[in-house]
Structure 1
Amino acid sequence: MRQIVCEAPDRMVLTEGELPPCGPGDAVVRVRRIGICGTDLHAYKGNQPFFTYPRILGHELSGEIESLGSEVSGLAVGERVSVIPYLACGACIACRKGKTNCCTSMRVLGVHIDGGMRERIVVPAAQLLSATDLTLDQAAMLEPLAIGAHAVRRSGLVAGETALVIGAGPIGLGAMAMAKARGARVIAMDLQEERLRFCQSWAGADAVVVAGPQAAADLAELTDGAYPDTVFDATGHAGSMTQAFGYTSHGGTLVYVGLVKSDISFHDPEFHKRELTLMGSRNATREDFDEVRRAIADGRVNIERYITHRAGFEEMIDRFEGWLKPESGVIKAMVEL
């Protein structure tokens, strides 16, 4: 079985591997699509927390069931599926509260354990979501969009409020799309004007702001001096995450969607003066996957334009370095098997 292994930072190799045994509650999935995300890129460059090498990357996955364990029901061989890559223990305090996305013993495919950058993968059947009504591309994109959906749901954003999403990458775009679906006014912020135009055409952003020294003044003008009710930072950049405190309204909410391998500090008097709510948003739950699935099925989210670059499995290693460059214009890269 062919597999691509990230052996160390800046080093990927194509190798042959053995398929692990399929247990009674497991399924063997023939991997057909692998989305490339910031986690993969950061791991490749050695900047990903919770990470050890060597590792098979890949957690944005869709494919077809090849075989099922003896205790599996509700799924069929040949069925198209999306993989929920967050393996929770089901027993810890977070799981007992229904917050399986932040299980104390969380294992994420492609991060804590080997992922799907291979021809076949064995996963618990409970981690599969039937996707017979979706294309393979759409099914693979449930995961990154579900992260944005989870952040929006967690924030409590409601129709009529103003949301600022900082970072126009795949996760930020998902948060924009889900915030719009809730009836919020959405402002997008990024360094690249080309990406901001995409935010307007793809996610329906109502206004855009170029990140930089003028950003706070621009936000004040767009909100009559009040600033956005909810700010989502999806950059994974410590400087941006710190500055986001100054972009949030009095009584507002700041949600960290992006993850940075660093400490974040803030000026406490400003935090208290505004009585801000600071949230972390991690991964997603099945509820978020279902919400995104409905949004794709009814046409509110266009996956064809979301995916901007493609490569075959054996081409990926040569293409990967180029996808890291801002000038490549990558929104979402997809590997096809």
Structure 2
Amino acid sequence: MPAPAGHPHMGRGPMSLGMMRSFRLERFGAPLCEVVEPVPVPQGTEVLVRVSACGLCHSDLHFVDGHFDLGQGRRLELSHVGPPRVLGHEIVGEVVAAGPQAAGVPVGARRLVYPWIGCGTCRMCRSGLDNYCSRSRSLGVRMDGGFSTHVLVPHPRYLVDFSGIPEHVACTCACSGLTAYSALRKVSLAVSDDSLLLIGAGGVGLACVYLAHLLLRADPVVADIDPAKRAAAQAAGASLAVDPGEEGIARRLLERTEGGFAAVIDFVGTQSTAEFGMSLLRRGGRLVSVGLVGGSVEVALPLLAVRTIMLQGSYVGSLDELKELIDVLRTRGAYPLPITPRPLDEANAALDDLRAGRVVGRTVLVP
């Protein structure tokens, strides 16, 4: 059968697209395994992307472990991840083939992949909030992701033009940048000057430092236990970077802010970071919890009313928010997030370094 016009790869056998190489999670708690298999032929609305870069995310460690820590000995098991599953959700690459119902993205186009894909039919998805879908099909989570030479994307609407932005920065926008951007949007009306505290200066926290300056004209205060990450935060524009474990630091920050911060974004998500953040909110302040490291906190309910504080979660961001973020970086300049490229062959070593806290900024795997 001849290939449909505009889709030169369609109609051929599975081997016609060659072979692909992936690093796949075969069982929880084990290193990723290298797998070589035929490149899949896209069907229907699917688009095949040749991966040129894929960022590593701390959540990849949770997917390897197979659970989230809920505190007090409780765990959220991640059986929905697979295995087997190819991880990786910060993906950029080149369109190399498309199914017969895929339209609007030509072969050869370079695109950023939005990975937080929903079912497409529920109320959340119809509202453009795929990331809130309870029947998620997210790449690198429920579907194979970007620790590979190729990835199948279910529909061309999830492909975003990132022209004008370096691809190693663009790929991190799919999670790191998007998560920071969406969290900032939730506190933007409350923040001015240095009334914003960011807890955690990993890849997402550093992206937020840059974006806070770009979007809010605010230079946030950053708290992190790692001296190297505090230094990176100050280099990124933080007005102050502190060790949350330093004796008396909470009192000094309360004095500096005349009663506390208008907003705190916790990019770590442990009992100690959440309690530290809540203790530093001014009346009417808001804590946005982003990090997934794990734990739980006890909240005195009367104080929620008396202090009129708000606790809110934030999970990555929508497709529209990703497009907004790319427009911001294209217009105002891509942020100089520290990025370390590593060959795809080093996927396991890169995950080990991330787990050990040896990564400043973001690591990007390059097939």
Q: TM-score over 0.5 for the alignment?
A: yes
The answer to whether the Cα contact below 8 Å between 1:28 and 1:121 also exists between their aligned partners in 2 is yes
- 8 Å CA contact 2:31, 2:348 repeated in 1: no
TM-score (norm 1): 0.91
For residues 82 and 278 of structure 2, what CA distance do their matches in structure 1 show?
32
Deviation string for 1:59-111 (max 9, x for gaps)? 00000000122223321111110000011123323234443321122232112
Instruction: Give me the identity figure in percent.
Output: 27
Which residue of structure 1 aligns with residue 125 of structure 2? 95
Q: 1:3 aligns with which of 6, 16, 22?
A: 22
The one-letter code of the counterpart of 1:32 is S
Taking structure 1 as reference, are residues 76 and 290 closer, same or farther at Cα in structure 2, changes over 3 Å only?
same
The normalised TM-score by structure 2 is 0.84
1:318 Cα deviation from its structure 2 partner = 3.6
What is the CA-CA distance between 1:30 and the residue it aligns to? 0.2
Question: How much is the aligned-residue C-alpha RMSD, in angstroms?
Answer: 2.1
Contact 2:190 2:263 (C-alpha < 8 Å) held by counterparts: no
Q: 1:42 to 1:227 in 2, by over 3 A?
A: same
2:49 aligned residue:
29
2:33 to 13, 34, 50: 13
Gaps (5+ residues) in structure 2?
1-19, 69-75
Residues 24, 98 of structure 1: alpha-carbon distance in 2 compared, 3 angstrom cutoff: closer
Q: Please, which runs of 5 or more residues in structure 1 have no aligned partner? A: none
Rounded to whole Å, the distance in 1 between the matches of 2:354 and 2:192 is: 37
* Structure 2 counterpart of 1:152, from 162, 166, 184: 184
Q: Is the 8 A contact 2:188 2:216 kept in 1?
A: no
CA distance, structure 1, for counterparts of residue 84 and residue 275 of structure 2: 33
Alignment of 1:249-328 (within 5 A): 249-303=282-336, 305-307=337-339, 309-326=340-357, 328=358
Equivalent position of 1:66 in the other structure: 96
Q: Which amino acid aligns with 1:86?
A: W
Cα distance, 1:65–1:97 mapped onto 2, change above 3 Å: closer
Rg: which structure is higher? 2
Shift in Å, 1:175: 2.3
Listed as ranges, the matches of 1:1-337 within 5 Å are 1-7=20-26, 8-48=28-68, 50=78, 51-123=81-153, 124-143=155-174, 144-158=176-190, 160=192, 162-180=195-213, 181-202=215-236, 204-212=237-245, 213-224=247-258, 226-303=259-336, 305-307=337-339, 309-326=340-357, 328-337=358-367
Q: Structure 1 residues 263 and 52 mapped into 2: Cα distance closer, same or farther (>3 Å)?
A: farther
**Aligned residues between the structures:** 332
The DSSP-based 3-state class of the residue aligned with 2:142 is coil
SS in 1 for 2:32: strand
Q: Displacement of 1:27 after TM fit?
A: 0.7
Deviations 1:107-127 (A, max 9, x none): 321122221111111112111
